[in-house]
Chains A and B, each alone.
Chain A
Amino acid sequence: MLEIRNLVKHFGPLVAVDGVSFEVPRGEVLGFLGPNGAGKSTTMKMITGFLAPTAGTAIVCGDDILTRPLQAKRHIGYLPEGAPAYPDMTVAEFLDFIAHIRGYRGYDAKARVARIVETIHLDEVFNQPIETLSKGFRRRVGVAQALIHDPPVLVLDEPTDGLDPNQKYEMRRIIAAMRAEKAIIISTHLLEEVEAVCSRAIIIARGRVLADASPEELAARSRFHNAVRIGLGDRRTDPAIRSALAPLPAIAAVEPVDDEAGHALIAFPRDGRPIIGDIADLTRMHGWPVSELRVERGRLDDVFRSITAPPLAIEPPRAAA
């Protein structure tokens, strides 16, 4: 439904986007991930026809954004970064304006606006000027504006940025409810969001696609994937456990951690294979005072960091064990 072909954008000597290609079929929610300045927004601006690419193009439902911009724009609902809207208009006037620009007139326009106000829950602020709205409502107005023509392709730039946890939950619920009949791209730097709503994630940094996989596949690349957390009351048994685990061929390393959940040892598997069975057997055999045994699913943030972090010139200071 949406096809991105080798998009490139230069700003003077700066290469913001450097050959990004991917496709988004119907039913997919693509999480566009990357550190700030990675080229996420620039890519979205090119897809939606705001910026002209230096090279490459985007095909939206068969219409090329460069050669048939009006047709392509009709297929897209776009929430730009920061959800801009005309502050002195009321929500009602603003949505009515968008409906008219989208080609609806009279009763049609009213019905479209009414339907979207109900879906996005904007009724209580319907007649308020947009400048008086809270950040959460403003963001929702931006989403409502993008959805008024029920577009097959939805491009949302940081739809939950600056929202409180309840509003984030609500926004994700709205996105998840639409996923079946649309191709959706959301950009974010929140990894929890990718796990919550995305069926696929693309990680981009310095203008290039570095990873393109489902969130589960990405998490499996983490060294925490299938690692086992061994919760312990204190550190007295550490040496015994470590020496018992060290000889196992399936275990790559054992590291101590102290976090909000207390003291624990984390055993990392070799090749990501499950090791929980071996550890459970040993625990029972030795009678270690273990408060918790938990398999880690893998951490997206860990993968994200290892993929996107620029090579460090100096070693970061190690956290005290």
Chain B
Amino acid sequence: MRNTFTIFRRELAGYFATPLAYVFIVIFLVLAGVLTFFVGDFFERSQADLQSFFTFHPWLYLILIPALSMRLWAEERRSGTIELFLTLPVRLSEAVLGKFLAAWVFAGIALALTFPFWITVNFLGDPDNGVIFASYLGSWLMAGAILAIGAAVSAATKSQVIAFVVSAALVFILIAAGTPAVLGLLQDWAPERLIAAVAGASIFGHFTAITRGVIDLRDLVYFLSIIAGFLAANAVLVDLKKAD
């Protein structure tokens, strides 16, 4: 546990040691703003909620989160520091968890810095802050799930570019599967149970459910099991591929 914290601290400090953290946060905030106000018609809707803010998060994360996760292991393997890292007296689980938590907390910091949206909507109207809180939590959980996927992919390659493209593609499938467009395509011919299964496996469906303000246990279990499953895969992949 102490090692996990030491690794977590090093990794998190690592984000802020390079321009990466600042570039990431600025781009995240700018894109979130543009999408909310221009594409999401925040003002035209005249609703005191952050629906038009959260609705774009899956698509925002599709691009930005793999950019965060791509270096987690690929960089260690390319530069050879993985040999140093894994010959220190740390458990593989501590290493995997420490790196993941640092990235997740960093994503949380970026998300928390969107608080002006929340202030704006509270200034303009009287929104249901419970729904907004649930949506923030859902958004953070979704970021964690995408990060876990990206971290596992990053462990399988030395190339950050490959890690980025492959994780973005995987995440795209997981998000797009639950969108009305894809489910509509299935509607005509697929059996009911397949449609339910596709919707149930999708990040999009579970995230949308939470943004309605209800934190269902099933949605929590979904995100947490994606995180746990991909972190386990991450550990296996590191062990298999570390010496290549």
Q: List residues of chain A with CB under 8 Å of any chain B CB.
A: 45, 48-51, 70-71, 73-74, 76, 78, 80-82, 84-89, 93, 97-98, 100-103, 129, 145
Contact = CB atoms under 8 A, between A and B. Distances in A.
Contact of B83 (A50, A86, A100, A145): A50
A89 B14 contact: yes
A180 B89 CA distance: 25
B81 A73 contact: no
Contacts of B86: 49-50
Contacts of A81: 80, 83
Given A80-B80, A101-B3, A50 B242 contact: yes
Contacts of B81: 84-86
A87 B79 contact: yes
Contact of B89 (A45, A73, A145): A73
A4 B243 CA distance: 21
B83 A80 contact: yes
Contact of A101 (B13, B88, B242): B88
Given A84-B81, A88-B18, A78 B87 contact: yes
B27 interface: no
22 contacts: A49-B87, A50-B83, A50-B86, A50-B242, A70-B91, A73-B89, A78-B87, A80-B84, A84-B80, A88-B14, A88-B17, A89-B14, A89-B17, A97-B6, A97-B10, A100-B6, A101-B3, A101-B88, A102-B89, A103-B89, A129-B17, A145-B84
Contact of B88 (A73, A93, A129): A73
Interface of B: 2-3, 6-7, 10, 13-14, 17-18, 79-81, 83-84, 86-91, 242-243
Contacts of B242: 50
B87 A48 contact: yes
Contacts of B91: 70
A101 B90 contact: yes
Given A51-B243, A86-B14, A93-B13, A80 B87 contact: yes
A101 B98 CA distance: 12
Contacts of A97: 6, 10
Given A80-B87, A101-B6, A129-B17, 15 more contacts: A45-B83, A50-B83, A70-B89, A73-B87, A76-B87, A78-B84, A78-B87, A82-B80, A84-B81, A84-B84, A87-B79, A89-B10, A89-B17, A103-B2, A145-B84
Contacts of A89: 10, 14, 17
Nearest to B20: A88
B72 to A, nearest CB: 13
A52 to B, nearest CB: 8
B80 A45 contact: no
B77 to A, nearest CB: 11
A74 B88 CA distance: 8
Contacts of A84: 79-81, 83-84
A85 B84 CA distance: 8
A141 to B, nearest CB: 11
A45 B13 contact: no
Contacts of A103: 2, 89
A145 B18 CA distance: 22
A50 B88 contact: no
